[in-house]
Chains A and B, each alone.
Chain A
Amino acid sequence: MSMSGRGLFGRLDWLTVFLYALLVLIGWVNIYSTTLVDPNTSIFDFSTLYGKQLFFIGLAGLGIVFVLFIETNFFERFASIFYISSLVLLLGLFVFGKTIAGATSWYDLGFFNLQPSELAKVTTALALAKYLSDIQTDIKTRKHQLYALVVILLPAILILPQPDPGSSLIYFSLFFVLFREGLPLYYLGILLVMVILFATTLMFGTVWVAIGLAIFSVLIFGLKRKSVKIPIIPFIAIIGASVLFSLSVRFVYENVFEQRHRDRFALWLSLEKDEKKLEEIRKTIGYNTYQSEKAIESGGFFGKGFLEGTRTKGDFVPEQHTDYIFSSVGEEWGFMGTATVILLFSFFFLRLIFISERQKSDFSRMYGYGVISILLIHYFINIGMVIGLLPTIGVPLPFFSYGGSGLIFFTMLLFIFLKLDSNRLKDGI
């Protein structure tokens, strides 16, 4: 202990803590503004949504204290057990789950609905870091790549049929951890190809995708220089796999996705050809996006002021306090507010990357990257959706959106990392 003249609190990265607190505060202010029903009630009235959120913030605070006082090694040592427990919890949903808004994603704990998919984000990040940092793991080998893939995809696969495609999409972000640790970047290329195959299959159907691939192959072989040798069998295997993937897209789209999910893609990719149906989708599914865009637009540069927003109140934008909280920032605080929030988040993420890179322990660095990946993809999908760049995918904005599970587990996710960071100098010894 000779080298730590300062205590735990001295070693914590206070800049990150400050950014975190700022984001939570701005989030809560906007939740207050959108869910205020009667101005005479106290902010501590737990029957109101903003009161509840305040309570959740308190719980998250307790969680922070809890995390900070736990022995650092604890997380690394028990990572596998956490991971397996959360898989069990996800499995248990099939039997004991509570259905809210069509998705069986919650355990009813009486005072609180626990969403294990939020917990699993933390445990998966831990487990992945643990596995990758193992002295025997070499991410350059196929076998270990496959194992890492299994660690990432197991929870995603369990979450998909809840159905909650949004949450299961989140897990794919953990690939960034693998890229950092040396997974060749062409895997990112594969991911991109899969996204393109997914979209084109929905737009044109498997038959046309297959025809397109065939034409592509002919072009490749026709135009290549004689000297370039393309291994025939792997090439055919790739094309075959693409067609299979395309077929499975149809299957997943028709059988796993629900109509509401399909409608979103229909709107985004202009799949629906029937004008009437498209109009109906616009008015129902696309309604949120339209209203939220309008609300953000109406804020202008300076915004309408705190509590002065008119569009983001009442039920004009459904999910206003959860997934669409950012539109309230846009309306009441204007471009000043939205740009500030974007800058805060960007700075926050860059700071986390900086912290990750200074870790001496592989586990800590890898976990750090997991934390960034998970938070970043939430931020990307959520704001992208609210400002009308991405299809409607229901994921919360970290630290901002209303909701207990989300806030508490995002906080734990972050503070476990800060705890690891506070201990980085010790690990070196």
Chain B
Amino acid sequence: MKKLLLSSIIVIVGFTFIGRLSYLQLFRFSPDQILDDPAIKKIYDYPERGYIYDRNGELMVGNQPAYDVMVIPREVKPLDTLEFCQLLGVDKPTFIKKMKKARTYSPRLPSVLVPQLSKEDYARLQEKMRHFEGFYIQKRSLRFYTTNSSANVLGYISEVNEWDLDNNPYYVAGELKGRTGVEKQYEEILRGRKGVKHIQKDRFNRDIGPYKGGKLDTLPEQGKELRITIDKKLQEYGERLMHGKHGGVVAIEPKTGEILTMISGPTYDPSLLVGRQRSKNYSKLHYDSISKPLFDRSISFEKEPGSPFKTLNALVALQEGVIEPSTKFRCYNGFYVGSQKKGCHCGGGMRDMNSGIYQSCNAYFAGTFRKIYGKFQTTDEGMDVWEKHIESFGLGNYLGTDLPTGRPGRIPGKEFYDRWYGDGRWSSSTIISNSIGQGEVAATPLQLANMTAAIANRGYYYTPHILKSIGNTGGIDPKYTEPHYTTIDRKHFEPVVEGMANVYKYGTARWVQIPDINIAGKTGTVENFTRIDGEKVQLTDNSVFVAFAPVENPKIALAVYIENGYYGSRYAGHIASLLIEKYLKGKITRKDLEKRMLEKTLEHEYAKPLSGEPFKINEYVW
């Protein structure tokens, strides 16, 4: 026994080792392990990111060179840290921290020490760089904006993070990727495809030529330029008008569904998210909890649409044959739901469809809404029919635009109310607020603009989209060139359009007429509630306006939604009319109106619920 102890240990150890070695060398072996073989160096050839032009071919986004200071930690020789820090423009603790991080990442591989030097810093540094071994400068390309507008539409790019690296094998640490907007949506088209060269290194770490004769190498594929549907001039002008106002503006070309303008107020200068100040600026924007500039209100802000929604109820009623355009309802300066009176500002009296629309009579539309439901045996049935008609205008669900963000809005169906109130515990009077666009319906400015485009087209719309073409022509998804027909017959649109045209001539927006242009529009003044410390509080009304022009041959359909802008024509209506004039005429004739809209801000309204002081709603301050 004692003589055999050591011998058996030797044999057991020998078998264990050979077992482990056969696992490693026979089982786990695969001949092409180049991915992490340190002897095979990969060199990337980055194509330039594609430019972005507006619909008229004006450049919006280009590229500019930037310079990263790179470090290979193990090649660093002792250096004058103080001088170097001064040249780089960083302080010493930061420098030491970054060096440590680079070393942790890899002593052998290059890491970015200081990203995105300005041209001036680069010029200063370049001459002295050779004194600092182990450091070098790498050129790369950053975005360059020829406009200070469209930040949310264009989106921004930033370095890939851990998640991207884990989920997309294309990216390598340090590369850039589109994060929002067009940059994200068309990332693969804009970025192209980087080329890869595999270089075989010999035992002395010298390059000895392509690995396997370049069999695995690829050439870079150029990023393509994009033309987007945005009208740069209109967009810039709109953003100036939105100065100091929260809300969204979307304008669409009804004949194509192309988005002419998409504004979220407040916005920011896209250049803020480029260069060395990027992360500082980003935090500032990200943590601005009042303005939320990174939140795209034009596409993600869903609210009750207010009175513009009445036009759809008129169309549904006509389609279902429950009213004629001449059908009249009496307005008692309001209407009754059971014994409860709901107000109306139209002035009272008998209302037909025409004056019902242009005076925005609540009683008229409550009556219309009741008639729609009255046609059916049960409220459920009526609800289904109504919902189907309304949804055919692109409301209540994602529109399917080529933008990576957005919200579906809400058109409540019977399931919604069953959940809300319980089965059978609601009736048409419960949902009467929907007749005037209050209550449970909600839509984004984009959806309102699209709905208006459908009315402008008298019955169909193209899915709104942002891409005009890849390169100069083509590349657009066929789903954006197919019309979507609403469930309303074409003949029913004329009376409604006439009412909308009269909004400008005699109605709620007669103050904002544009000489020589016939506009059809609809104002909306949306009651606005919020919760402050758990208590329901009413705030100043939201101001809404939808319009299209010219009436006969619509070239632009738009929706303007201004938070706390009071009644519809006041802010939204004015801004809409200025935008229409700008787009159709190219210049503004009503200079004083323009001046007022550019200068007025609603900051005091937005401060109200936050300041903790008592406030009045809907106060009239011009």
Contacts and interface: CB of A to CB of B under 8 A. Distances in A.
Bind each other = yes
Interface string B1-18: 111011101110110111
B31 interface: yes
Contact of A297 (B2, B7, B13, B25): B25
Interface string B191-213: 00000000001011100000000
A180 B24 contact: no
A372 B26 CA distance: 31
Given A342-B18, A350-B10, A297 B204 contact: no
A314 B203 contact: yes
B29 interface: yes
A113 interface: no
Contacts of A296: 21, 24-25
A334 B10 contact: no
A349 B14 CA distance: 11
A315 B21 contact: no
Contacts of B283: none
A37 B204 contact: yes
Contacts of A196: none
Contacts of A380: 13
Contacts of B9: 376
Interface string A269-298: 000000000001001000000010110111
B38 A311 contact: yes
B14 A315 contact: no
B203 A342 contact: no
A77 to B, nearest CB: 27
B20 interface: yes
B6 A334 contact: no
A414 to B, nearest CB: 16
B187 to A, nearest CB: 29
A278 to B, nearest CB: 13
Interface residues of A, number: 51
A297 B3 contact: no
Contacts of A369: 6
A240 interface: no
B3 A389 contact: no
Contacts of B21: 296, 330, 335, 338-339, 342, 387
A314 B201 CA distance: 11
A172 interface: no
A58 interface: no
Contact of B39 (A180, A311, A376, A387): A311
B2 A180 contact: yes
Contacts of B74: 315
Interface string A338-366: 11001101100110010001000000000
B10 A346 contact: yes
Give the interface size class of chain B: 35 or more
B37 interface: yes
Interface stretch (A48-56, A246-254, A299-307, A399-407): A299-307
B29 A346 contact: no
Given A311-B38, A314-B204, A350-B10, A298 B17 contact: no
Contacts of B25: 296-297, 299-301, 330, 334-335, 338
Given A310-B203, A335-B22, A180 B33 contact: no
B36 interface: yes
B201 to A, nearest CB: 7
A300 B204 contact: no
B377 to A, nearest CB: 63
A294 B5 CA distance: 34
Contacts of A346: 10-11, 13-14
A349 B18 contact: no
Contacts of B510: none
B580 to A, nearest CB: 57
A38 interface: yes
A387 B108 CA distance: 24
A316 interface: yes
B203 A313 contact: yes
B6 A353 contact: yes
Nearest to B31: A300
B592 to A, nearest CB: 62
Nearest to A178: B2
A381 to B, nearest CB: 11
A297 B14 contact: no
B28 interface: yes
Interface in B35-76: 36-40, 74
A389 B33 contact: no
B38 A283 contact: no
Nearest to B16: A389
A408 interface: no
B167 interface: no
A349 B104 CA distance: 42
Contacts of A179: 2, 5
A334 B17 CA distance: 14
A388 B24 CA distance: 10
A372 B17 contact: no
Contacts of A38: 204
A180 B38 CA distance: 48
B170 to A, nearest CB: 23
B479 to A, nearest CB: 44
A373 B7 CA distance: 11
Contacts of A376: 6, 9-10, 13
Q: Which of B5, B17, B18 has the most chain A CB atoms inside 10 A of its CB?
A: B17
A176 interface: yes
Contacts of B36: 294
A68 interface: no
A301 B26 contact: yes
A370 B108 CA distance: 43
Given A311-B37, A353-B6, A387-B20, A297 B203 contact: no
B11 A180 contact: no
Best-buried of A36, A330, A342 by chain B (most CB within 10 Å): A342
B33 A298 contact: yes
A218 B391 CA distance: 75
A182 interface: yes
Contacts of B39: 310-311, 313, 316
A283 B22 CA distance: 25
Interface string A5-29: 0000000000000000000000000
Contacts of A309: 203
A180 B7 contact: no
Contacts of A335: 21-22, 25-26
Contacts of B10: 346, 349-350, 353, 376
Contacts of B24: 293, 296-297, 330, 387-388
10 tightest CB-CB pairs across the interface, nearest first? A310-B39, A313-B203, A346-B14, A335-B25, A300-B29, A316-B38, A349-B10, A338-B21, A297-B24, A314-B205
Given A310-B40, A376-B6, A376-B9, 7 more contacts: A180-B5, A310-B201, A310-B203, A311-B38, A339-B21, A350-B7, A376-B10
9 contacts: A296-B21, A300-B31, A310-B203, A314-B204, A338-B25, A346-B14, A379-B13, A387-B17, A389-B16
